[in-house]
Amino acid sequence: MTREETIKSLKSRKKFLESIISFCRKKLASAPEGRVATSCSNGVAQFYFYNNCKGKRKYLSDKVLIEKLVSKEYFSKLLSCAENELKHITRFLDGISKTPVEEIYKSFPEAKRKLIAPPCIDNDTFAKQWIEADYPTLDFKINEEYISNDGERYRSKSELLIANALKEAGVPFRYECRLDLKGYGPVYPDFTVLNKRTRNVFYHEHLGMMEKPDYIIKNLQKINAYEKNGFMQGKQLILTFESEHVNFDMNIINKIIKEFYL
């Protein structure tokens, strides 16, 4: 969970606790005096009324009063617990620094940043370093490429469209970055995608020739290898499809970007 998500979650919890406290106070405002205790005689529950002032007990048979006193005890304990939790959450939210520790490094001039080995960095710096890092990839053959406006090469028109959509959304990615799968060997996912906000990495495979039986078998084997290595579909592994009879759909790509990559 990111810092922002933690703060959002705590604010939501704070609002919930405030509603519980308000509800408890309304219930307790009309609660009767005293308290009730229980004991068991021959397997039968017995209730005793205690007066808060005198401290003496007497047998209680009034079921309506018993229920009100038990409810009073419950709402009193609930109120105390909620107030205690709210106090600590409020103290945390009031005390948390407006500047995340990850942002401190970025606040230094670049000349000084070069001399620092920070233990934590902001998401933008992390993504920039991730993008700029070298990674093993595949070579291109002649007449096998589609060139984007920024000069990057892709093997298919659909992959070019996906890359453009990722760039437009500001999503960092690596194209055909090598990934070693135990028991299978190296694979080169079409897109290795970084969610800059969570720093989670996704492997996006676009299967664009699903009309070919050999292609299907080969990719089913690869998908199984992904999952055996812990990369599950719909979690770390994202799959999109296309064939001669099923057109490429950019609406699906945009939904995936919104759901997983942002």
pLDDT digits (tens, 9 = 90+) for 48-75: 888 766 667 788 888 898 999 999 999 9
- In a domain, residue 51? The reply is yes
- In a domain, residue 117? The reply is no
pLDDT at 1 over 90: no
- In a domain, residue 114? The reply is no
pLDDT for the residue numbered 76 = 95
pLDDT for the residue numbered 15 = 97
Q: CB-based contacts of 193: which residues, under 8 Å, 6+ apart?
A: 166, 171, 172, 173, 201, 202, 203, 204, 238, 260, 261
Residues 79 and 175 grouped into a single domain: no
- In a domain, residue 119? The reply is no
Count of Cβ atoms closer than 10 Å to residue 130 Cβ: 17
pLDDT at 141 over 80: no
Residues 52 and 161 grouped into a single domain: no
How confident is residue 142, by pLDDT bands cut at 50, 70 and 90? low
Give the domain range for residue 37.
3-95
Residues 256 and 156 grouped into a single domain: yes
Residues 248 and 153 grouped into a single domain: yes
Q: Calculate the dihedral angle through the C-alpha atoms of 158, 177, 185, 201, rounding to the nearest 10 degrees.
A: -90
pLDDT for the residue numbered 55 = 63
pLDDT for the residue numbered 35 = 86
Sign of the CA dihedral 22, 25, 30, 36?
Answer: positive
pLDDT tens digits, one per residue of 153-204: 999 999 999 999 999 999 999 999 999 999 999 999 999 999 999 999 999 9
How confident is residue 249, by pLDDT bands cut at 50, 70 and 90? very high
pTM above 0.75, yes or no: no
- In a domain, residue 45? The reply is yes
Q: Please give the mean pLDDT across all residues of the chain.
A: 93
pLDDT tens digits, one per residue of 189-243: 999 999 999 999 999 999 999 999 999 999 999 999 999 999 999 999 999 999 9
The least confident of 71-85, 91-105, 122-136 is 91-105
Residues 19 and 86 grouped into a single domain: yes
Residues 164 and 236 grouped into a single domain: yes
Residues 171 and 75 grouped into a single domain: no
Residues 144 and 241 grouped into a single domain: yes
What value does the mean pLDDT take over residues 19-25? 97
Last residue of a domain, one of 39, 74, 95: 95
- In a domain, residue 124? The reply is no
Say how many domains are in the chain.
2
- In a domain, residue 128? The reply is no
- In a domain, residue 80? The reply is yes
Q: Which residues lie across from 38 on neighbouring strands? A: 47
Residues 171 and 257 grouped into a single domain: yes
Cα–Cα distance measured from residue 132 to residue 127, given in angstroms and rounded to the nearest whole number: 9
Residues 10 and 60 grouped into a single domain: yes
- Which candidate, 256, 231, 226, places its Cα nearest to that of 241? 256
pLDDT for the residue numbered 204 = 98
Last residue of a domain, one of 64, 95, 126: 95
Residues 231 and 147 grouped into a single domain: yes
